[in-house]
Amino acid sequence: MEERTIPRRLLAGAAALLFACCSQANSAPPGSPPDAEICHSASAEELAASGARQVDVTLPNVLLQPMRGAPATLTQRIRTADAVLLNFIYTSCTSICPPMAHIFATAQERLGTRAAELQLVSVSIDPEHDSPKRLQAYATQFRAGPQWSFHTGSQAAVDKVQRAFQVYRPDKMGHQPVTFIKPRGQDGWLRVDGLARPEQLLALALGSPVK
């Protein structure tokens, strides 16, 4: 998988959009919806510190089972024009998965009435135990909205998805915190390692296009 550092001018552009968004929020009438809380005045330096890199991902043609509804491929589930945040979790994880889910929950909350602009996708790496019912309970725990989908499937299918994003580990205990971003209107993906701040992820997903 080829990785490329995001040009600093594009990070600066995303930060500029955030600044404009925050300026609008500060001038909004009292009682207006708090959508602009996603801004948080993130700077280009903060965005660069996220360590985001462009990565080449080809989604595999394998079926995943969502927590509700019929099996489908990720290509079928992910709307082309939408911004997407995607991560890999498992419900019995007590270390990095709860913070990762909390980051998604916070991003969802900060979007407010704009939540439909972003798809959140979580794929279980422990499909043997993570049934749709168990994923539903996990989603409820983190107050997942309709735009946040959780997926399981056969172990072979889940492994192919992990390999496509180059995060496959033979032992789930070796799982690392990584978030993948498909910026709005783009086909490519970004990779952010570690526990990134929700506003950093939102800026990259909804801000300046990454070419």
pTM for this entry: 0.77
pLDDT greater than 50 at residue 26: no
93 in any annotated domain: yes
129 in any annotated domain: yes
Beta bridge partners of residue 121, listed in sequence order: 86, 149
> Domain count of the chain?
1
Residues 6+ positions from 43 with CB-CB distance below 8 Å: 15
Under 8 Å between Cβ of 191 and 5? no
What pLDDT is stored for residue 81 in this prediction? Answer: 84
105 in any annotated domain: yes
What is the dihedral sign for C-alpha 98, 4, 164, 145? positive
113 in any annotated domain: yes
Instruction: Give the model confidence (pLDDT) of 148-159 as tens digits.
Output: 999 999 999 999
106 in any annotated domain: yes
Range of 109's domain? 3-206
C-alpha–C-alpha distance, residues 110 and 112, integer Å: 5
C-alpha–C-alpha distance, residues 70 and 64, integer Å: 9
Across the range 142-149, mean pLDDT stands at 95
Across the chain, mean pLDDT equals 81
pLDDT greater than 70 at residue 161: yes
Q: Say which CATH number the domain at 68 has.
A: 3.40.30.10
What pLDDT is stored for residue 116 in this prediction? Answer: 86
Instruction: Give the model confidence (pLDDT) of 42-92 as tens digits.
Output: 344 544 555 799 999 999 999 999 999 999 999 999 988 899 999 999 999
